[in-house]
Amino acid sequence: MNTNDPQIVLGTMDFGTRVDSDRAFAILDSFVAGGGTWLDTANCYSFWTDPSGAGGASERVIGAWLRARPGARDSVRIATKVRQNPLVPHSWPESAEGLSARAVHTGVEESLERLGVDHVDLLWAHAEDRTVPLEETVGAFGDLVAKGVALRVGAANHAAWRVERARSLAREQGVEPWSALQLRHSLVQPRPLSPVAEGGHRLLTAEDLDLARSEGLAVWSYSSLLWGSYVRADKPLPRTYDHPGTTRVLAVLDDVAGELSATRNQVVLAWLMRQGIEPIVGASRVEQIEEALAARRVRLSDEHVARFAEAR
């Protein structure tokens, strides 16, 4: 496999909360053994399920795994995020950390301590913070790259125009610009203009892809497998996905999965990677990450891609 091909990213949001340390270690071991590289976490994961009411559990589990696996840091690349962690436990969004220079620097410092590393390979701005001048946020991210604390920086859940404005400001300041986007995306789509029920989520748009392709930005997608809804009868798709396009796409998905001897999930992941998108896959069991990694061997033809496009 070409190392420049889009990769499966291991989402670790539930590590330390819904997924205990032993299972998380097993998943991480399996991911690395299967050739996986990128780990995606955030300083706020997962405050909404942690009895403490604050984030940090996921980063602490990754840090413990790195300590228990000498040399593992050389095998993985770590992406984490600042913005959203409650500064007062059980008080979100009222006390959600923002993107001021002070908040960014403090958030990263605390993340590095939990992870037990001296730098992260990619630092995301987890969400917009329009109470802070964009110039200030851009400068803070650029400063972290200049110091070697973050090797790259990116924007999650940001409007395309804000990303491009930030990149322009970075050029003016002579600092490293955001070079990656992270947004929610999957094969089936909600009804047009319907609100997203999940707080903080922002859907990938054609404009985002246009910007990324024009500027050479990496694109990561989250909720790529829609919480198991493609394969689990007990996890129905949210109501906003209940429209004729979904029915048509799922019918094509079944046909293509049969033709390629692949699972529904694997075809969805292959479809994303075919577009140059790096899908983030959360896993609570080793078998799930093994299935996801096997999607790298699923090759969709132009005809398959066209059938999905026509079904929509």
DSSP string, the chain: --TTS---EEE-TTBTTTB-HHHHHHHHHHHHHTT--EEE--TTTTTTT-TTSS--HHHHHHHHHHHHSTTGGGT-EEEEEES--BSSTT-TTTTB---SHHHHHHHHHHHHHHHT-S-BSEEEE-S--TTS-HHHHHHHHHHHHHTTSBS-EEEES--HHHHHHHHHHHHHHTSPPP-EEEEE--SS-PPTTPPP-STT--B--HHHHHHHHHHT-EEEEESTTGGGTTT-TTSPPPGGG-SHHHHHHHHHHHHHHHHHT--HHHHHHHHHHHTTEEEEEE-SSHHHHHHHHHGGG----HHHHHHHHHH-
The pLDDT, as a whole number, for residue 75 is: 96
Contact (Cβ atoms closer than 8 angstroms) between residue 107 and residue 43: yes
The pLDDT, as a whole number, for residue 5 is: 85
Domains of the chain (ranges plus CATH)?
A: 9-311 (3.20.20.100)
The pLDDT, as a whole number, for residue 193 is: 85
Provide the Cα torsion 187, 188, 192, 196; round to 10°.
Answer: -100
In this prediction, residue 117 has a pLDDT band, given cuts at 50, 70 and 90, of very high
The pLDDT, as a whole number, for residue 98 is: 98
What is the mean pLDDT of the segment spanning 4-8? 88
pLDDT, tens digit (0-9, with 9 covering 90-100), for 182-222: 999 999 999 988 888 787 899 999 999 999 999 999 999 99
What is the mean pLDDT of the segment spanning 80-98? 97
Residue 90, phi-psi category: left (phi > 0), alpha (psi -120 to 50), beta (remainder)? left
Which tokens sit at 56? 């940090």
**Mean pLDDT in the chain?**
96
The pLDDT, as a whole number, for residue 198 is: 84
pLDDT over 90 for what percent of the chain?
Answer: 95
pTM: 0.96
